[in-house]
């Protein structure tokens, strides 16, 4: 029971630290606009955290070996705290750009570190349940972060100092959780190379990248689809809420199912559900009957991601788990970087419905890849 409480403390700390990040991103955009920064430059600066995250991602296993998992996550939280405080007391856009890169580094340390901690601490028989709960709670942070911003306001130092307070609470929870559990004996170094991980377990990484691409399109392009179909701004925004609610519920449901049924089969079902439901949305949207399909589409996305994380946690022990979680973070982020411009181009050529059909085609390619590569990798 004590071990479960420690995991819950870690999950709560992850929720708060992630919430501060999702609180900061819209605040950054508003602040840049207020300083008269062009949209192009604002977009470039807003992308710097992701560049910082990718830059440090493959160093994470070595950092864990050098400092330990808890200390690495605390380093990430401390860096985020320093960034938010520095933003509160400076107005130089050039300094903000550097701080955004540092924030990306802190994000990588926190993200991969927390994923490694939770996945490495749970027992195998309940891995899906705990990982699903973890992903469900993290999905909620994407809504809570902006919600805090709505209360604290989007101008002045108050929202940044609020973010500092949230991170301080997360640090306190992580300290209360204590050090991470000991891992099995060191894994041979060659298993830590990203290509080695991909050769051993390609299917989970393919599924995670597919979800990263799709979720990024949900957040950035789905409202444009709604507006293109003559919805109001409010109704178009609700499309995102509905799909992302499905993602959150799907994460928990997928985790529960991963403890009870064949995980490879579950991964295939969720991947191909992501092919069928967008096509149904395209048919039913004009009739106003697409809401169940949109929610189900989100369910499939959340479940596919969670099953992939569960499979990686079961497959890779010790130091290899940290490398696998880092690579999962990378492929998810790369999917999110590639997806919106690619599907945006499809929408330009085929109209708003190009988003739906395009994501269906991408899901079909991903599902076939999961089926193909999952067949010959015995460890999957």
Residue of 108, 109, 133 lying closest to 121 (CA atoms): 133
> So what's the pLDDT on residue 43?
73
Q: Do residues 223 and 361 touch, judged by C-beta distance below 8 A?
A: no
Instruction: Give per-residue burial for 51-85: e unless 16+ CB within 10 Å, then b.
Output: ebbbebbbebbebbeeeebbbbbbbbbebbbbbbb
Please report, for the chain, the start and end positions of each structural domain, with discontinuous segments joined by +.
2-132+141-177, 193-376
Q: Which tokens hold the place of 319?
A: 């130091």
CA atoms of 225 and 210, how far apart (whole Å): 20
Fold of 2-132+141-177: Growth Hormone; Chain: A; (1.20.1250)
* The pLDDT of residue 6 is above 90: no
Per-residue pLDDT, averaged over 147-176, amounts to 83
> So what's the pLDDT on residue 1?
44
Instruction: Give per-residue burial for 120-129: e unless 16+ CB within 10 Å, then b.
Output: bbbeeeebbb
Provide the whole-model pTM: 0.88
* The pLDDT of residue 172 is above 90: yes
* The pLDDT of residue 184 is above 50: no
| 2-132+141-177 against 193-376: fold identical | yes
**pLDDT tens-place string over residues 76-107:** 999 999 999 999 898 888 999 999 999 999 99
State the pLDDT confidence band at 277, using cuts at 50, 70 and 90: very high
CA atoms of 112 and 116, how far apart (whole Å): 6
Per-residue pLDDT, averaged over 232-261, amounts to 88
> So what's the pLDDT on residue 211?
95
**pLDDT tens-place string over residues 278-294:** 889 888 887 777 889 99
Note the residue count of the chain: 380
At the fourth CATH level, the homologous superfamily of domain 193-376 is MFS general substrate transporter like domains (1.20.1250.20)
For residue 24, the SS3 value is helix
Per-residue pLDDT, averaged over 260-285, amounts to 91
Q: Do residues 102 and 83 touch, judged by C-beta distance below 8 A?
A: yes
């Amino acid at each position: 029971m004590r071990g479960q409480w420690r995991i819950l403390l870690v999950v709560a700390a992850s929720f708060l630290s992630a919430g501060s990040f999702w609180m900061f991103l819209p605040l950054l955009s508003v602040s840049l606009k207020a300083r008269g920064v062009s949209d192009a430059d604002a977009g470039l600066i807003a992308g710097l955290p992701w560049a910082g995250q990718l830059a440090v991602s493959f160093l994470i296993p070595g950092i864990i070996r050098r400092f330990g998992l808890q200390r690495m996550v605390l380093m990430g939280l401390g860096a985020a705290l320093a960034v938010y405080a520095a933003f509160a007391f400076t107005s130089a856009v050039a300094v903000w750009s550097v701080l955004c890169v540092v924030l990306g580094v802190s994000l990588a340390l926190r993200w991969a570190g927390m994923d490694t901690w939770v996945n490495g601490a749970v027992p195998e028989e309940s891995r899906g349940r705990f990982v699903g709960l973890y992903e469900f709670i993290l999905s909620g942070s994407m809504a809570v972060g902006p919600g805090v911003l709505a209360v604290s306001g989007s101008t002045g130092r108050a929202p940044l100092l609020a973010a500092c307070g949230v991170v301080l609470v997360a640090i306190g929870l992580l300290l209360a959780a204590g050090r991470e559990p000991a891992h099995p004996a060191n894994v041979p170094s060659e298993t830590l190379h990203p290509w080695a991980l991909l050769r051993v377990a390609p299917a989970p990484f393919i599924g995670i990248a597919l979800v990263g691409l799709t979720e990024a399109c949900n957040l950035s392009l789905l409202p444009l689809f709604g507006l293109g179909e003559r919805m109001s701004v409010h109704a178009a925004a609700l499309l995102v809420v509905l799909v992302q609610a499905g993602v959150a519920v799907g994460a928990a449901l997928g985790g529960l199912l991963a403890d009870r049924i064949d995980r490879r089969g579950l991964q295939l079902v969720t991947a191909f559900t992501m092919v069928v439901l967008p096509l149904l949305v395209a048919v039913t949207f004009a009739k106003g009957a697409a809401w169940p399909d949109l929610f189900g589409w989100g369910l499939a996305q959340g479940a596919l991601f969670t099953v992939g994380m569960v499979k990686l946690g079961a497959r890779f022990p010790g130091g290899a788990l940290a490398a696998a979680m880092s690579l999962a973070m990378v492929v998810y982020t790369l999917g999110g970087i590639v997806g919106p411009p690619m599907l945006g181009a499809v929408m330009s050529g085929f109209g708003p419905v190009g988003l739906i059909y395009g994501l269906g085609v991408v899901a079909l390619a991903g599902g076939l890849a999961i089926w193909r590569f999952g067949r010959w990798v015995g460890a999957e």
